[in-house]
Amino acid sequence: MPSARLILASASPRRRELLAQLGVPFDVMVAEVTEHEAPDSDPRHLVEHNAALKAEWVAARHPDAVVLGADTTVFVGQTVLNKPRDGADARAMLRLLSGRTHTVFTGLAVRCPARNLRLALGVASEVTFKTLDEAVIELYLSRVHPFDKAGGYAIQEHSELIVAGFRGSQTNIVGLPLEETKQILTRAGLLR
């Protein structure tokens, strides 16, 4: 049986770049869904729900394809930080993260209705921020576009300004944990 076509259900250019590193050909289709983003949500459930929502929306339109959905959020204290709405929101997020350790959660969901395939996986990494003053926050935001990034930052862009260190998967912090993505796609029969 020929292997199924893989579709990434994501608008994220970073996820596209990371998935390409696994060497599996794939198409991209952005799911037209409203993600759950309540700041008081359980972050693990939030990312799993949103990843499944995206994968199921695309899989309903391409039932023979293997669809990969992913969602990432930042969790600090008891608060979920999604993508900032504007510059003031991005500044507030960086102030909240300053001098603290937070967790980055990504949920992965694979769906293929034709094969009755329903897989899910969650990944967590920790990031510790330096103590940031207003000048560093402004410098960082002048160099990085924060509005499509959970928590208002990107570990792969000018992290020397804001990040003291991290534990766990760096690709998870970027938005697609490669080792776990490889595992879930192997379980789906797309990788050996």
Active site residues: 71
- Say if CB 6 and CB 23 are below 8 A apart: no
Give the C-alpha separation, 73 to 177, whole Å.
13
Question: Mapped to the 3 state alphabet, what secondary structure does 92-155 carry?
Answer: HHHHHHCCCEEEEEEEEEEEEHHHCEEEEEEEEEEEEECCCCHHHHHHHHHHCCCCCCHHHCCC
- Say if CB 45 and CB 107 are below 8 A apart: no
- Say if CB 15 and CB 8 are below 8 A apart: yes
- Say if CB 188 and CB 119 are below 8 A apart: yes
The number of angstroms, rounded, from the C-alpha of 136 to the middle of its chain's C-alpha atoms is 25
To which H or E segment does residue 165 belong?
A: strand 163-167
**Between 87-97 and 134-143, two packed helices, what is the crossing angle to 10 degrees?**
130
